């Protein structure tokens, strides 16, 4: 099987820490090139990560005829432009979450790729982890009775205010970064879109970037949900669901879903307590393999266009509710 040859737009930390190691383990895929606006930075990244080719301009990477697909971990504000430019160069794109800053922008991206008959997908890796799929299965099997309340939290302790997450014009803020996980997991476990949305946030800086945010949903079925997210708060990552007969909880970095980390789904039902161990899985690797399979065969991906756009529609509503 000829491997899908990927290039990276930018030398982002997430690419080095997460995607590059997982790409090495993924069947039928390899990183072969990286581009940065600084050739020296691209060369250093390539040397450190055993990537063959380094470019000092994004355009040079897109023009490389040997590259099949692009991983785009640029700031959110640059996702639409550079993903579509990749499509114009005939490259499929796996774009870091969130796909863009608004639902309309994300839909425009998908439309552009569809017109060119090229694959685009959002890199929302946790949805590939067997753990979140098992939680949904338990809910659907009645493990907690009728679902009543769902909850999620994802805080990241980022105290460097020069980080791009502190700049609204770059697509920064808690909600678009870690909050997008919370919105996604609550929508996934509820199995529907919220009918009502409320939000409150602590804004910081001259442009009012959301440092910490809390949101509440009500779903058509009657399920209510709440979440919290922050970029200047002690790390905390968990989600769960409560019901008429029990409750489920995944804590200890549930949505971060670290490769190599074992997890436990905690289940209370009346006075009974059960743990469901979930063996370590690399959700990044699973995501890459799904992307490559779709690129080769045209098979639909686990994370759909509709899901990615609808997640941003809810995020748009949360911003509008502030």
Domains of the chain listed by start with CATH number: 4-125 (3.40.50.720), 130-280 (3.30.360.10)
CB 64 within 8 A of CB 86: no
CB 243 within 8 A of CB 259: no
Spell out the residues 6+ positions from residue 288 whose beta carbon is closer than 8 angstroms to its own: 19, 22, 23, 26, 29, 94
* Rounded Cα–Cα distance for residues 266 and 73 (Å): 33
Q: Pairing mode, if any, of strands 29-35 and 53-55?
A: parallel
Ranges of the chain with pLDDT below 70:
none
Burial class of residue 169 in the structure, from the number of CB atoms within 10 Å of its CB (0-12 exposed, 13-18 middle, 19+ buried): exposed
Spell out the residues 6+ positions from residue 219 whose beta carbon is closer than 8 angstroms to its own: 190, 192, 193, 194, 195, 225
pLDDT for the residue 156: 94
pLDDT for the residue 294: 97
Catalytic center residues: 97
DSSP-derived 3-state class of residue 253: coil
272: which strand partners? 269
CB 269 within 8 A of CB 246: yes
pLDDT for the residue 217: 98
224: which strand partners? 149, 218
For residue 145, report the phi and psi dihedrals to the nearest 5 degrees: 75, -140
pLDDT for the residue 31: 94
CA atoms within 13 A on the CB side of 146: 6
For residue 128, report the phi and psi dihedrals to the nearest 5 degrees: -90, -5
pLDDT for the residue 258: 80
Tally Cβ neighbours within 10 Å of residue 116: 15
Virtual torsion, Cα 166, 171, 174, 180, nearest 10 deg: -160
Block residue for tokens 């383990």: 25
């Amino acid at each position: 099987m000829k491997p899908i040859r990927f290039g990276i737009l930018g030398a982002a930390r997430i690419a080095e820490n997460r995607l590059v190691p997982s790409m090495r383990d993924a069947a039928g895929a390899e990183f072969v090139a990286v581009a940065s606006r600084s050739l020296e930075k691209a060369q250093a990244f390539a040397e450190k990560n055993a990537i063959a080719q380094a470019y000092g301009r994004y355009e040079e990477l897109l023009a490389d005829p040997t590259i099949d697909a692009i991983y785009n971990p640029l700031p959110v504000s640059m996702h639409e432009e550079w993903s579509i430019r990749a499509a114009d160069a005939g490259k499929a794109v796996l774009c870091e979450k969130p796909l863009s800053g608004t639902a309309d922008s994300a839909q425009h991206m998908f439309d552009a790729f569809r017109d060119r008959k090229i694959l685009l997908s959002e890199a929302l890796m946790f949805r590939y982890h067997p753990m979140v799929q098992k939680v949904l299965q338990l809910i659907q099997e009645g493990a907690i009775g009728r679902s009543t309340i769902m909850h999620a939290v994802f805080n990241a302790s980022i105290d460097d205010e020069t980080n791009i997450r502190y700049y609204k014009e770059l697509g920064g803020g808690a909600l678009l970064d870690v909050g997008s996980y919370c919105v996604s997991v609550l929508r996934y476990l509820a199995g529907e879109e919220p009918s009502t949305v409320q939000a409150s946030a602590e804004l910081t800086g001259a442009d009012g970037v959301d440092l910490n945010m809390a949101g509440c949903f009500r779903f058509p079925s009657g399920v209510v949900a709440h979440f919290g997210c922050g970029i200047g708060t002690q790390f905390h990552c968990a989600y769960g669901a409560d019901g008429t007969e029990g409750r489920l909880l995944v804590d200890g970095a549930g949505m971060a879903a670290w490769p190599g980390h074992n997890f436990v789904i905690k289940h209370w039902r009346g006075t009974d307590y059960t743990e469901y161990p979930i063996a370590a899985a690399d959700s990044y690797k699973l995501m890459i393999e799904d992307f490559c399979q779709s690129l080769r065969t045209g098979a639909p991906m686990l994370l759909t266009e509709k899901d990615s756009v609808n997640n941003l529609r809810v995020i748009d509503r949360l911003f509008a509710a502030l």
